[in-house]
Structure 1
Amino acid sequence: MPPSLGEGGIRAVRDCSLLQYDTGLAMEFRPLRSFVEVVRQGGFSQAAKAVLTSQSAVSKAVKQLEAEVGVPLLDRMGHRSVLTPAGEVVYRRAVKLLADRADLLAELDEIRGLRRGVLRLGLLPACSSVPFTPLLALYRQRFPEIEVRLVERDSAQLEDDLRTGDIDIAGSLLPISPEFDFEPLCREPLVAVLPSGHPLATQAEIRLADLRDTPFIMLESGLALHRIVLDASRRAGFLPAIAARSSQIDFTMELAAAGLGVAFLPRMIAAQRHDAAVCQVRLAEPDLEWSMAMAWRRGAYLSDAASAWLALVRERHGEA
């Protein structure tokens, strides 16, 4: 069984969770914030960069939190730190407390009439330009006073940012965890991007299994499109040989043009890129789709800026 926090430890965690309307609010949450970032970033030096402070300040904050709860939260093994059983409990609660605090401050600002005018929007680093550029341009045109802060991270990192309240809303691929609400944005089939000299390049439509002997050019493993293609390959009965991985769409197409193998892109993304050295062939896989939605933490408070963004998504993509 996990070790008990003890009466003093429980009281300390409870006291730390109090959302007081005073200038000490930010100070009370700094140890929690530092601790959460150490866990999320995988170390003290990375956490220091995330919270814009020194590594020694982060270490001091975590030690302060451990002193308050009365038990070690991290098992320090050289350069690695692993959560103790008590640390797992505190981390889970701290993530929710930090998100609730962000909601509280946002709601208070709305009540006081303090329109901060900031939309914190998370996007995937690949395949986001086509669906989001027109939306961002229209949003800017309608709400020029709102600052848009873009965060580009992979799906798992964006979900973490939503949980902690670091971003308001994120563009993510379906399926989405049930802990989030979502609004569909777009649904696109995938196309195979083949070298023009490939035997299948002139076909109007091919199946994924037809490409089992062709090396795959994949987006990085942290990106959702990588998982979509690999899962579909397994359903087709094979594991592909991977010739190369990249986080850049243009580079994957250049690699395909150079004859390294076949790349896979959503049709709307591929259609924006024209290269005589490659052919884009439709995949006859009804369940192989790139489906994007806007996601936010279930039950979270949405600022006016985030609500306006959602309204725009529904207006432009209501039938996605």
Structure 2
Amino acid sequence: MEFRTLRVFVEVVRAGGFSAAAGRVHATQSTISKAVRQLEDEIGMPLLIRGPAGIALTAAGEIVFQRAQTLLAGRETLKTELQELAGLKRGLLRIGLPPIGSSELFAPVFTLYRRRYPGVDIKLVEHGSDRLEELLRASEIDLAASLLPVSEEFDWLAMRRDPLVALMATDAPLAQVPGPLTLADLRTMPFILFDSGFALNRIIRAACARHGFEPEVTARSSQIDFIIRLAAAGLGVAFLPRLIARARVHVPVAQVPLDEPGTDWAMATLWRRGAYLPQAARAWLDIAAGDPAQTATDREPD
């Protein structure tokens, strides 16, 4: 039983199908199918139920999926521990960052980290927070930036807490209203959200549900500047942390404070609770916790 075959099987289950898994492991769909059949032949029983609606795990497949994740995580831990025999003169930092806020929060940490540890390779993965947590859970990365609150299976270091602002065209009626708005005030406007997998979407939808409505979503994107320009053009209302919105003042768009409990953008760096944390990752956390550029942003006036 090869680690490569186990990894392919795990990706098929996570992705929910063969074609999506092929893109994740950079292989053809036929190669993916062949690897799963090889694993089933080796085990001697089917692992997946294939149907028009997608795939489902058999009882045997459920066992193999859980054990495969443990084996793959253990393999990565072994490789990392051996690398660290040489200390941080070399090594690998595997970190996942979301598109929202990375340049503002994490670029200074990257700069200082690279200066202190030039021999450490950095493997950067960029996804929405939900996908990053999935990768962290599977031990494919050591650290991930995500929004609080998070599952108890993770420990975390707080990075920044910021209220959201609503972005809309400068001539929109609600752009002229003094004072902060609630999501209930915005329920008649179309929403411009990020792509699926972004935790900010989940936070906004949950707050809307507390007000008793489901927002009409007119557009989705993973690109911050594109979302801002859609809002500025009058397509709907978008939402960004105040820190990020202020950094995009060159775009002519109204930025209205949002007064909505439970929707603060609370960014943290996560790692698996109780799991082995590589020395390269611990060094990153030390810098992130003590970097003056990070703490200074929390003292800026409202």
Residues 99 and 164 of structure 1 are in contact (CA less than 8 Å); yes or no, is this contact kept in structure 2? Answer: yes
CA deviation after TM superposition for structure 1 residue 114, in Å: 8.8
1:184 to 140, 158, 161: 158
1:226 aligns with 2:201: yes
Root mean square deviation of aligned Cα: 2.5
- Distance, in Å, in 2 between the alignment partners of 1:102 and 1:116 is 16
Structure 2: stretches of 5+ with no match in the other structure: none
Residues 89 and 119 of structure 2 are in contact (CA less than 8 Å); yes or no, is this contact kept in structure 1? Answer: no
- Distance, in Å, in 1 between the alignment partners of 2:54 and 2:188 is 41
Residues 147 and 199 of structure 2 are in contact (CA less than 8 Å); yes or no, is this contact kept in structure 1? Answer: yes
Residues 162 and 266 of structure 2 are in contact (CA less than 8 Å); yes or no, is this contact kept in structure 1? Answer: yes
Residues 83 and 91 of structure 2 are in contact (CA less than 8 Å); yes or no, is this contact kept in structure 1? Answer: no
> Which secondary structure does the structure 2 equivalent of 1:200 belong to?
helix
- Distance, in Å, in 2 between the alignment partners of 1:276 and 1:111 is 50
Change (3 A) 1:43 1:284: closer
Q: How many aligned residue pairs are there?
A: 294
TM-score normalised by length of structure 1:
0.83
1:155 aligns with 2:129: yes
2:253 to 268, 278, 282: 278
1:266 to 233, 236, 241: 241
2:105 aligns with 131
TM-score normalised by length of structure 2:
0.87
- Distance, in Å, in 2 between the alignment partners of 1:230 and 1:56 is 38
Structure 1: stretches of 5+ with no match in the other structure: 1-15, 17-27
- Distance, in Å, in 1 between the alignment partners of 2:21 and 2:101 is 28
Alignment deviations for residues 59-94 of structure 1 (CA, whole Å, 9 cap, x no partner):
443333323333211123369432112101210121
* Paired AA for residue 139 in structure 2: G
> Which secondary structure does the structure 1 equivalent of 2:174 belong to?
coil
Change (3 A) 1:248 1:86: same
Q: Work out the percentage of aligned pairs sharing the same amino acid.
A: 54
Change (3 A) 1:286 1:42: closer
- Distance, in Å, in 1 between the alignment partners of 2:141 and 2:5 is 20
> Which secondary structure does the structure 1 equivalent of 2:163 belong to?
strand
* Paired AA for residue 208 in structure 2: S
Between 197-206 and 164-173, the greater mean CA deviation after superposition: 197-206
Residues 216 and 261 of structure 1 are in contact (CA less than 8 Å); yes or no, is this contact kept in structure 2? Answer: yes
- Distance, in Å, in 2 between the alignment partners of 1:36 and 1:76 is 15
CA deviation after TM superposition for structure 1 residue 216, in Å: 1.7
- Distance, in Å, in 2 between the alignment partners of 1:56 and 1:219 is 32
Residues 107 and 301 of structure 1 are in contact (CA less than 8 Å); yes or no, is this contact kept in structure 2? Answer: no
Residues 95 and 163 of structure 1 are in contact (CA less than 8 Å); yes or no, is this contact kept in structure 2? Answer: no
1:204 to 151, 162, 179: 179
1:291 to 237, 259, 266: 266
2:277 aligns with 302
Between 181-190 and 124-133, the greater mean CA deviation after superposition: 124-133
- Distance, in Å, in 1 between the alignment partners of 2:150 and 2:290 is 22
